[in-house]
Amino acid sequence: MKYPNSEGATDAQSARRKWLTILGAVVVVALVLYGLYWLVYARHFVSTDDAYVGGDVVSITSRDPATVVALYADNTQTVRRGQLLIQFDPVRPQTAFDAAKADLARAVRGTRTNFSKVDQYRAQLNAARVNLSQAQEDYRRRTTAGDSVSREELNHARDAVTGAEASVKAAESGLAQAQAAVQGTKVSTNPDVLAAIAALRSAAITLSHMKLYAPVDGVVAQRTVQVGQQVAAGTPLMAVVPLDTVWIDANFKEGQLEDMRIGQPVTVSADIYGGSVTYHGKVLGLGAGSGSAFALLPPQNASGNWIKIVQRVPVRIALDPKELRDHPLRVGLSVDVSVDVADTSGASVGVPSNKHEVRGYIGDYDETAVNRLIQQIIAQNGA
């Protein structure tokens, strides 16, 4: 006996089994494909979104007390290395520089005078010795003349010898003093002249600090100085951020660092461009410690109860300069980082790197010009 709709129920069950079979097959195929994807590709990548753009923030500070008379750059403006940023009032440093030049000329002339005194005292010593010789000869003759010379005349002759001997000693002392001031030196190496030269260099250096130039290419930030402001030495005035040399500090978990090596390729996407721009870089090295180790209050894991917390260590990543020029990044932006760790032939990220880019201070101080000025002053006052 057949019940009504029993045939329809059987067809529905068959259809359900069919779709469940198809779904199961799809799931199995998806799992197989994902397994293959992980084995062949995904397992060779480690990624994190705990990554941020880092960069140098070059502080522009006053090296001497001064008054600002002109500003040539403001926040968000791009500047080039060597471009004038700030100018201070140069009147007082210029006055000090002129005074230092006069002091050097005076020291040179004084040293020349000291050299002349040597010849002067030497001549006086020779004259005193001649007078002493004459006085001694006169005294000798009078002592051998017998009664023809009075006692008073003999006493005068003896006193003349004593006075001549004193004159010789005074001349010798003056010569020794004059020689002590110049002995072993010449005009250009005399201590008084060297001190005046040092003072002139110091004044020239201070004068050169009246203009501040950009030490690197970059964008101006954190300008706090105003025209007319009196600033003290070391006061931060503004900063220059070189955006073409920014890097990425990616904070990976310590378990992700096993296969990471220096030089491994990295892909980076920045939130500021919505993932439409991909940067390419390479691993540079590993930070010296986890973030918690350098915190204001580092963890005290040896006291009390302890719970293991997975730490993150910053990995520095260099970016392609051309890509940075095409799509500039700003310091502090968040990014997503993925490192290809398939090639483990490179040096471990734990090996410290000794490479460092040297950047020099730019100023107006010209050592060659100052040396030329010093030689000119010495020649003009020492001839």
Give pLDDT, residue 95.
Answer: 95
SS3 256: helix
Residue 315 vs residue 41, higher pLDDT: 315
SS3 308: coil
Return the ∠ at Cα 374 (arms to 102 and 63), rounded to 5°.
80
Compute the distance between CA of residue 47 and CA of residue 296 in angstroms, rounded to an integer: 28
Q: Is 348 exposed, middle or buried (0-12, 13-18, 19+ CB in 10 A)?
A: middle
Give pLDDT, residue 282.
Answer: 93
Compute the distance between CA of residue 310 and CA of residue 290 in angstroms, rounded to an integer: 10
**For the whole model, what pTM was predicted?**
0.72
- Domains present along the chain, CATH in parentheses: 93-206 (1.20.120)
Q: What is the CA radius of gyration of the chain?
A: 44
Q: What is the pLDDT of residues 175-225, one digit of tens each?
A: 676 666 666 667 777 888 899 999 999 999 999 999 999 999 999 999 999
CA 258 to chain centre: 36
Q: What is the pLDDT of residues 303-353, one digit of tens each?
A: 767 778 888 999 999 999 999 999 999 999 999 999 988 888 878 776 666
